[in-house]
Structure 1
Amino acid sequence: MSHNPFTSKIYQDNWLKHFVGGKTSKSFSFIKGLSFYKHAYLPYYINVGKNSTNGITYQIDAGFEDYKGKTFLIYDVPEYCMPDNSINLKKLKNYKVRQYKGFLADLKGYDNLESYMLDAFSSKSRNKHRSSIKKLEACFDVSYHIYDKTISKKDYDQVIQGFRDLVLKRYDSLQLDTNLVGEWSFYEEVIYPMLKNGQALMINVCVEGKPEAMSLVFVEGSKITGAIKAFNPDFYKFNIGHIELSKLIEWCFENGINTLDFSKGEYEYKTKWTNYEYLYHCHVVYDSSSFASSITAFFLAKYFQLKQYLRDKRFNYFVVKMKYKFKNLRGSSGVPIFKISSLSEALDFDSFQVVDLENDSQINLKRIVYDMLYRKQESIKNIVIYKQVSNSKIYYIIGRKSQLKVEII
Structure 2
Amino acid sequence: MFLKRLLGFKSDNFFFTYFEEDQVPSYYIVPDKAEDSGQIVYKDFHSVKPWGTGLIFCIPPYLDFGQLLLREGYSAITLCYRSGYLLDFAGFESPDQYLKKQLGSRALKKINRDFRRLDEKHVVTFEAFFGEIEKKSYQRLMDAFQEMIRDRFAENADEHTALQRWDFYRDSVFDLILIKKASLFVMYGNGVPISLALNYHKGTVLDSAVTTFKNDMASYGLGKLMLVKKIQWCFEHGYDKMDLRWGDFEHKKKLANRVYTFKNQIIYRKGNIIARMRAQVLAFLLKIKQQRQ
State whether TM-score is above 0.5. Answer: yes
2:141 counterpart of 1:141? no
CA distance in 2 between counterparts of 1:57 and 1:186 reads 18
2:240 counterpart of 1:258? yes
CA distance in 2 between counterparts of 1:305 and 1:202 reads 37
Residue 228 of structure 1 corresponds to which residue in structure 2? 210
Query: What is the CA-CA distance between 1:288 and the residue it aligns to?
Result: 4.8
Q: Secondary structure at the match of 1:243?
A: helix
1:136-193 Cα offsets, whole Å, 9 max, x none, are 1111121111112210101000010111011112222788832432331111101111
Q: Secondary structure at the match of 1:105?
A: strand
**8 Å contact from structure 2 (residues 157, 163) kept in 1:** no
Query: What is the CA-CA distance between 1:112 and the residue it aligns to?
Result: 1.6
Equivalent residue runs for 1:7-406 within 5 Å? 43-47=8-12, 52-53=16-17, 59-60=28-29, 71-81=53-63, 83=67, 92-172=74-154, 177-310=159-292, 312=293
Q: Secondary structure at the match of 1:100?
A: strand
Query: What is the CA-CA distance between 1:42 and the residue it aligns to?
Result: 5.3
Distance change >3 Å, CA 237–CA 54, structure 1 → 2? farther
CA distance in 2 between counterparts of 1:164 and 1:46 reads 27
Query: What is the CA-CA distance between 1:60 and the residue it aligns to?
Result: 5.0
CA distance in 2 between counterparts of 1:75 and 1:302 reads 15
**8 Å contact from structure 2 (residues 149, 157) kept in 1:** no
Q: How many residues are aligned here? A: 267
CA distance in 1 between counterparts of 2:157 and 2:140 reads 26
| Matched residue type, 2:9 | Y
TM-score, structure 2 normalization: 0.80
| Matched residue type, 1:183 | R
**8 Å contact from structure 1 (residues 191, 200) kept in 2:** yes
CA distance in 2 between counterparts of 1:105 and 1:228 reads 16
| Matched residue type, 1:243 | L
**8 Å contact from structure 2 (residues 195, 212) kept in 1:** yes
Distance change >3 Å, CA 50–CA 117, structure 1 → 2? closer
CA distance in 1 between counterparts of 2:257 and 2:155 reads 28
Q: What are the ranges of 5 or more consecutive residues in structure 1 without an aligned counterpart?
A: 1-38, 313-409
| Matched residue type, 1:195 | I
1:29-56 Cα offsets, whole Å, 9 max, x none, are xxxxxxxxxx778533434x56745768
Distance change >3 Å, CA 61–CA 276, structure 1 → 2? closer
Q: What are the ranges of 5 or more consecutive residues in structure 2 without an aligned counterpart?
A: 32-45
Distance change >3 Å, CA 215–CA 127, structure 1 → 2? same
CA distance in 1 between counterparts of 2:136 and 2:157 reads 32
Deviates more, 1:299-308 or 1:274-283: 299-308
1:246-267 Cα offsets, whole Å, 9 max, x none, are 1111111111111111112222
CA distance in 1 between counterparts of 2:147 and 2:208 reads 19
Identity %: 21
CA distance in 2 between counterparts of 1:60 and 1:222 reads 21
Distance change >3 Å, CA 196–CA 307, structure 1 → 2? farther
**8 Å contact from structure 2 (residues 186, 193) kept in 1:** yes
CA distance in 1 between counterparts of 2:213 and 2:232 reads 19
Distance change >3 Å, CA 57–CA 262, structure 1 → 2? farther
Residue 16 of structure 1 corresponds to which residue in structure 2? none
1:35-92 Cα offsets, whole Å, 9 max, x none, are xxxx778533434x56745768675589xxx997553221211134594755x98x85
CA distance in 1 between counterparts of 2:146 and 2:68 reads 39
- CA RMSD between the two structures: 3.0
CA distance in 2 between counterparts of 1:158 and 1:84 reads 39
Greater radius of gyration (CA): 1
